Structure 1
Amino acid sequence: MLPLERQKKILDLLTVKKVLKITELTEELGISVDTLRRDINLLASAGKIEKIYGGIKLADRFGESSMDERMVNHLEEKERIARKCSEWIQDGDCIYIDSGSTTYQIAKYIKDKKNLTVITCSVPVIQELMDTDAELIIIGGKIRKEEQSVVAFDYIFNFHELNVRKAFICCSGITVERGISDYNLEEAVTRKKMIELSKEVIVAADSTKFGKDVTVAIAPLERIDTIVTDAHVDRSFLTKFKKTGTNLVIAD
């Protein structure tokens, strides 16, 4: 494995398990302590990791940005994406709204829908729709405080009885070759299950997510009906998506 490949592997492992011991890394990578220390020194000097006693952790500002940051970053684009997504939602629908700064915006545009059932793992979505007529169902499980979301584990499997017509999913990475991906394993498990249960899957993602394949694979493109993004997406993706079965929609 080349040094750059090893270093990427180290970062990928840290996005799943926030702290890693030196012994864990040497076993996982099959390299000597001296080789590992050279990789660690390079990553630390680049500000991507921090050394701690007996191991390493991600630098505070590396990897997935916080929910509070994402709520304000590219806000105009996310609002346009959410407004376009809301056009898929009809009175009487049973829908799933994912946790995420873009999917959260969808809740703002569906408050006047009639007989709507909204399933979600997002605390902000629940708060946004609390005073509306929508029937709200939140997935039970562990609270992930930094994402303001619930990660479901076994609780989600009781949702087979629900007729989920449309799932609005967010992600951290999109490529034609690998589909959609995310940084957190627990969030990815929930998304995979809701994609499996839903009749139609719509991914809401701003243009910065394209061309990235991050830690945890969620689903290949053949499982995604539509991706809604903003007008800043690299135009080369428009050509690439024409060769797939996934509809790429630009929110204007």
Structure 2
Amino acid sequence: MANLTAERRNRMAQILLSEGSIKVGEMAERFAVSTETIRKDIIHLEEKGLAEKSFGGAIAKVGLVEKPLNERALVHAEEKAAIAAYAAGLIHERATVLLDAGSTTNAIAKQLLLCTGLTIITNSLELASILSDAKSEVFLIGGHIRRSSHALVGGWSAERLQRLHADIAFLGSDGFAQQSGPTSVSYDEASVKSAMLRAAAKTYVVADSSKALTTAQFAYAEWQDISGLITSGSHAQEAKRLLKEQTRLLIAAPLSPGAAKD
């Protein structure tokens, strides 16, 4: 019974975050349970920081509804550029690099156009397009296309990753407030991120510091499993507080002449 409850709540959270709202009556009919059960589920999602109760249902908490990738790329663009430059500096010559799908990893891909001799593996159609003229070997992991992020996900993707070994991986996050690790709004993308982490000798989460104020429902790692969090922006101290010294905090300085890395 507990497993059925957790599964229903996870599915409700996915619907909430993809559609922006849910209705008690519709959810009760969809999952063949009572409206009282759905109301308890909504209270659970509210306690997790994912929902806000509204008349007849709930709405997604502000900031959690996933925006299309092209819109996300415009948000905190300066911070993402700084993070990307820092991340590129951690990659050694002839390394094998794993990049997942996301606007911050897109910025890293642009930095890697300046590199030669790398092996770059990604599950992102967007990144593969950016890197199509790179002077490195680029491999695209197959799978089902997730439209909102242009990521390739699913069992096929995870199976390929089980056969790989990379020197370093860079993974994005939809937030980590009130969490013991980075999260994703998508269960499928969280699964691929976890598989990438297991395939890499070192793994860094790359996320602008505003992600310290938001969260999502699917954690894909614990902070102690991560080599470090690379961040930038005005909420870096909040990120530091959340990490509780469980992993390294690497603060990327703004891209300006003479700027130092922390």
**Cα offset for 1:212?**
3.1
| CA distance, structure 2, for counterparts of residue 132 and residue 10 of structure 1 | 39
TM-score, structure 2 as length reference: 0.76
SS in 2 for 1:90: coil
Is residue 153–residue 189 contact of structure 2 (8 Å, CA) maintained in 1? Answer: yes
Map residues 1-252 of structure 1 onto 2, 5 A cutoff. Answer: 12-15=13-16, 21-24=27-30, 27=33, 30-31=36-37, 41=55, 43=57, 48=59, 63-175=65-177, 177-239=179-241, 241=243, 243-252=244-253
Distance 1:146-1:9 versus aligned 2 partners, 3 A rule = closer
Q: CA deviation at 1:116?
A: 0.6
Corresponding residue SS for 1:116: strand
User: Could you tell me how far apart the structure 2 residues matched to 1:167 and 1:150 are?
Assistant: 16
Unaligned runs of 5+ residues in structure 1 are: 1-7, 50-57
State the partner residue of 1:52.
none
Q: TM-score, normalised by structure 1?
A: 0.79
Q: Which amino acid aligns with 2:187?
A: L
Asked whether the equivalents of residues 162 and 199 of structure 2 are also in contact (C-alpha less than 8 Å), the reply is: yes
Secondary structure, counterpart of 1:235 in structure 2: helix
- What is the count of residue pairs matched by the alignment? 229
State whether residues 82 and 232 of structure 2, in contact with CA within 8 Å, keep that contact through their aligned partners in structure 1. yes
Quote the Cα distance in structure 1 between the aligned partners of 2:178 and 2:248: 12
Q: Secondary structure at the residue paired with 2:120?
A: strand
Distance 1:185 1:110 in 2: 28
CA RMSD of aligned residues (A): 3.1
d(CA) in 1 for partners of 2:18 and 2:245? Answer: 34
**Mapped contact 1:15–1:184 kept (Cα < 8 A):** no
Over 3 Å counting, the alpha-carbon distance change for 1:142 and 1:177 in structure 2 is closer
Corresponding letter in the other structure for 2:229: I
Which secondary structure does the structure 2 equivalent of 1:209 belong to? Answer: helix
**Corresponding residue number in structure 1 for 2:47:** none
Percent of paired sites with the same residue: 24
